[in-house]
Structure 1
């Protein structure tokens, strides 16, 4: 399918080094972005679908790097079916598993955790709820895992590991396993903060520095944050990516943003939701945290968007998250909400408003055009201007 978005008022790239790019159009074909800028009439005419953005803003599809995936589009924690598809209506085009720790009766032996990671990864290789791409199968680190296990899993395609829920006497014991995972090309994440489920332990700055993961998960609390004195240590004594989550402590979210900005290391800031958990289902959670950083933290909204898109993509080695030729064609069109006090999406975010979602495109295929069922209407009209395929791209009504 060839898809074009035209008549854009602004293009936010998700790239921290160049967060806004000139132009008013995005051309997509075969699941990738082909061109960004001013599109020629012939290129637009050759498209199967043309979306007229009406002057609204394009951003990369949001990457929620902390989602509690189980199997299928179901969360046993909240007994809810279809939450991932609903997140697409909140602008989330990619979900990354925080490990399948919420699978009922999850295994804790070596054979079991390996099987769980492989099964989850394989189940989501071709399953795309609502068009969302899901990266599942994060190995839960448990005692007894050895070098040969990481080598086997890497051969099978498992590329993520999670520290924090294993039956270890102390969190320091995760360090050699994380080192093994890294040696086999895996991305490693560690639970950070107070205990979140029975059997887990609190993990603070000393532990994180010793474990040396790629990502310090929900560093602002999942749900309980580390002590304030630990944040400068993680910023100054490591290069670990620091993930802030909607289901955490808002005050420390802003503190993390401030410290990383002062250190010139906003490339290490990642935005996620840490849902579904006891905090519930949050289809608009990513936008809430972006709006908090922009309105309360004084961060430029395009930078906050990059923390939720391109930064996540870089750390997790994804081809999505940035609007540029060759990247995955995951694009969201947002605008100020109808009836609000602002006239464009970025001004609305600075005002503390969650934007209206006018269109969601994943893998170059429009999934929603006109109105998301999870947001108010856009101020500017976003519509399908041309459609040659037998599909209705309208969002479901409330």
Structure 2
């Protein structure tokens, strides 16, 4: 399938080093981006679907790197069906599991936690709710797991390991398994902050530094933040990626972003939601955190967008998150909301507004074009200008 987007007002690449791309068009073919910039008339006419962006802003599909999936598009924590598909209408095209810890009655023995990770991974290999790509299956580190167990999981395709909900006597006790997992090429993640569910404990900077995970999960609190002095320690004493979550402490989120900017290391900042949890379902959570950083933190909106796209992709070794040839064809069109005070999406974010989501394309397939059911309409009318397929893609948003 070939999909072309034309008449784009601004192309935000997701790359901190080159945040904008010249031109006004994107061409996608067989699930990958094949061209960004200017398209010939032959390239446009050869597309199966042509989307008229009407001057809106193109960004990479958002990557939520902290989603508490279980099985299927259902969360028992909030008893909601279809929340992942709803997140697509918030511009999120990729979700990364924060471990399947919310699975009711989850096993805690070594054989059980391995089986849970393998089953979750397998369930989402081909299942794409609403067009979302879900990276599932993160082994929850528990006492009794061995390096041989990690070898078995890696051989079977599990590449994520999570510390923070195991029955270890001290958070320091995670370190040997965490280090062993990283040695095997796994992306390791660690709960950071106060207790989030009954039975869990606070994990602070000294514990995170000892385990040296790839990512400090919800460093701003999930939902409770760690002691203040820990933020500077994680920034200055490690190269750990620091993840900010919508369902966390806003003040410490702004503090973390400020400290990383002052250290000249904005690439270490990641944005996620940490949902569904007790904080609920947040289809627009990624956009809210981007707007908070841009308005309250005075971060350039293109930098905040990179924290939600390219930074996540680089940290998790994914092929999406950037609007560049060769990358997975995940593109979102955003705009200022109708009736607001701003004239474009980036200005809206600086103003603290959530932008309108006008179209979402994932894997090169338009999932909806025209209007998200979760945002107000934009000030511009995005439409399918031409399609050779027996559908117009404009009716997916129901209200």
Q: What residue in structure 2 maps to residue 207 of structure 1?
A: 207
> In 2, distance between residues paired with 1:17 and 1:74?
38
Q: What residue in structure 1 maps to residue 67 of structure 2?
A: 67
1:125 equivalent to 2:143? Answer no
Aligned-partner SS, 2:334: strand
> In 2, distance between residues paired with 1:171 and 1:200?
10
Residue ranges of structure 1 left out of the alignment (5+ in a row): none
Cα distance per residue 1:121-140 (max 9 Å; x no partner): 00000000000000000000
Aligned-partner SS, 1:90: coil
Cα distance per residue 1:231-260 (max 9 Å; x no partner): 000000000000000000001110011000
Q: What residue in structure 2 maps to residue 27 of structure 1?
A: 27
Cα distance per residue 1:85-123 (max 9 Å; x no partner): 000000000000000000000000000000000000000
Q: What residue in structure 2 maps to residue 6 of structure 1?
A: 6
> In 1, distance between residues paired with 2:261 and 2:180?
32
Give the drift of 1:300: 0.0
> In 2, distance between residues paired with 1:94 and 1:397?
21
TM-score by length of 1: 0.99
Give the drift of 1:28: 0.1
> In 2, distance between residues paired with 1:292 and 1:116?
35
Report matched runs for 1:370-385 at 5 Å.
Answer: 370-385=370-385
Q: What residue in structure 2 maps to residue 181 of structure 1?
A: 181
Report matched runs for 1:231-250 at 5 Å.
Answer: 231-250=231-250
Q: What residue in structure 2 maps to residue 104 of structure 1?
A: 104
Q: What residue in structure 2 maps to residue 223 of structure 1?
A: 223
Q: What residue in structure 2 maps to residue 142 of structure 1?
A: 142
Aligned-partner SS, 1:4: strand
Aligned-partner SS, 1:202: coil
Query: Are 2:384 and 2:392, in contact at CA under 8 Å, matched by a contact in 1?
Result: no
Report matched runs for 1:48-59 at 5 Å.
Answer: 48-59=48-59
Q: What residue in structure 1 maps to residue 357 of structure 2?
A: 357
Aligned-partner SS, 2:44: helix
> In 2, distance between residues paired with 1:192 and 1:164?
8
Aligned-partner SS, 2:389: coil
> In 2, distance between residues paired with 1:287 and 1:27?
25
> In 1, distance between residues paired with 2:303 and 2:320?
17
Report matched runs for 1:33-48 at 5 Å.
Answer: 33-48=33-48
> In 1, distance between residues paired with 2:259 and 2:144?
38
> In 2, distance between residues paired with 1:253 and 1:185?
28
> In 1, distance between residues paired with 2:247 and 2:367?
27
> In 2, distance between residues paired with 1:62 and 1:160?
20
Give the drift of 1:183: 1.5
> In 2, distance between residues paired with 1:289 and 1:164?
24
Q: What residue in structure 1 maps to residue 305 of structure 2?
A: 305
Aligned-partner SS, 1:190: strand
RMSD across aligned C-alpha pairs, in angstroms? 0.6
Give the drift of 1:391: 2.5
> In 1, distance between residues paired with 2:43 and 2:173?
56
> In 2, distance between residues paired with 1:269 and 1:160?
19
Q: What residue in structure 1 maps to residue 397 of structure 2?
A: 396
> In 2, distance between residues paired with 1:392 and 1:96?
30
Aligned-partner SS, 1:64: strand
Residue ranges of structure 2 left out of the alignment (5+ in a row): none
Cα distance per residue 1:71-92 (max 9 Å; x no partner): 0000000000000000000000
Report matched runs for 1:327-346 at 5 Å.
Answer: 327-346=327-346
> In 2, distance between residues paired with 1:148 and 1:183?
13
> In 2, distance between residues paired with 1:127 and 1:397?
22
